[in-house]
Amino acid sequence: MSVNTDRSYKMKLRDVENAFKYRRIPYPKRSVELIALLAISCTFFLFMHTNKLNSRLKEMEVKLQPSEFSALGLTGNHISGHDAGKHDDINTLHGTYQYLKSTGQLHTLTPYKLNNTAKAEMDRIFFTRCAKVGSESLIQFMEYLQHVNDFDVDHTGLKQPAKRQLLPRGQARKARYIYDQPAGTAYIEHTSWIDFNHFNMPKPIYINLVRDPVERVISWYYYVRNSYRNAIFYRKNPTAEIQPAAWFKKNYNDCVRSGDPECQYIPMTVKDVVGNFKRQTLFFCGHHEDCLPFDSPLAVQIAKRRVEEEYAVVGTWEETNITLTVLEHYIPRYFARATTIYPIFAEKLKNRNRNNRKPKVDEDVKAMVRRNFTNEYEFYHFCKQRLYKQYIALKRSQLEQVYLS
């Protein structure tokens, strides 16, 4: 074979290879559409999961970092809050005092540094009342105090259906209503914190109460089954569907142990099977969608920020005397002489809105439920530590005498 013939043969071979290499194979039109649809679906799937992962990572980042807003520089879970009675429990007055003393913070503690009342820009109280925290007793006591300290208690918010979240228009309307009230008004409602400055209005004096998270949900569980409460409800709402007798008789212990959806408290859920007000942090966090997931680390950090920067006092009726002492000294315009007057009405207020027919809940059931309230407990202990700090700042010299004796 000559050189030219050989070259011609190789060129032809290369042409055949190229023909196979770059050949265009026609695809049916429907196949092309199917491939395009699969590509779009995969892209959307990856986008949704990446977005969800990003949100979870954001929450984990907040949870894992040391909290800027932690009453004693620790999370509420640093020392278990369920070991009540132990002298080293940081979530008791004694434990908080000893911790402040051991870290050198005790002698720098002053009421001035811990008082947010001075930050208020108008003479109104906004009591963003949590559900089932003993607030009925405080409200009743404020009705006695208003005649002594010359202020008015506005119950308008208590006559409206409770909404856990408001759109900006609703928040603005609520803020405007409070702003339009006369100076010296205490407005009370089951609602979340509202940023008045965002709507170009001066901020009020914020107050609230907290309670042990699991005790709150148990209290709510039996409260909605209270016959007196339901008689009033169905009289006001005659067309409402009446629950079956078995629902009223359902025991909380059995509800939890059987896995009944009503008694399942799943972290990071947004929609509840049954309304239960389990998110105590929601009343402090606000109306943003980040506040909605249950037991969310992010919501807890936002709620802490609100308490630390905005609320004058967040007390607890579990510590009535401490709460009233702090209210009296930090918001004297409304609560002056509170500790002097309270003993007169203490017996009458003690049983206010108490459900005496509430059965005993077993401790192992409480422990089961408590495991899903980790972050809610962190917030609860944070609020109690802050309350103790405010009290210790007022009573430091007396407490030093007690602990030295």
**d(C-alpha 254, C-alpha 365), whole Å:** 9
**d(C-alpha 204, C-alpha 175), whole Å:** 9
What string of H, E and C letters represents the secondary structure of 94-121?
A: HHHHHHHHHCCCHHHCCCHHHCCHHHCC
CB 385, CB 96: distance < 8 Å: yes
**d(C-alpha 177, C-alpha 279), whole Å:** 26
Tell me the residue length of the chain: 405
**d(C-alpha 299, C-alpha 303), whole Å:** 6
Three-state secondary structure call for residue 160: coil
Burial of 35 (0-12, 13-18, 19+ CB in 10 A): exposed
Q: Give the containing element (helix H, strand E) for 169.
A: helix 168-180
> How many Cβ atoms sit within 10 Å of the Cβ of residue 60?
12
Amino acid letter for position 93: L
Provide φ and ψ at 186, rounded to 5°: -110, 110
Maximum separation of any 2 CA atoms in the chain, in Å: 125
Q: Determine whether 49 is an active site residue.
A: no
**d(C-alpha 317, C-alpha 178), whole Å:** 25
Among the listed residues 94, 190, 198, 288, the single catalytic one is 190
The pairing of strands 152-154 and 205-209 is unpaired
Q: What is the DSSP string of 171-235?
A: HHHHHHHHHHSPSSEEEEES-----TGGGT----EEEEE---HHHHHHHHHHHTT-HHHHHHHHH
For residue 64 the two structure tokens come to 């894992």
Amino acid letter for position 155: H
CB 91, CB 316: distance < 8 Å: no
**d(C-alpha 286, C-alpha 268), whole Å:** 17
So which residues are the catalytic ones? 190
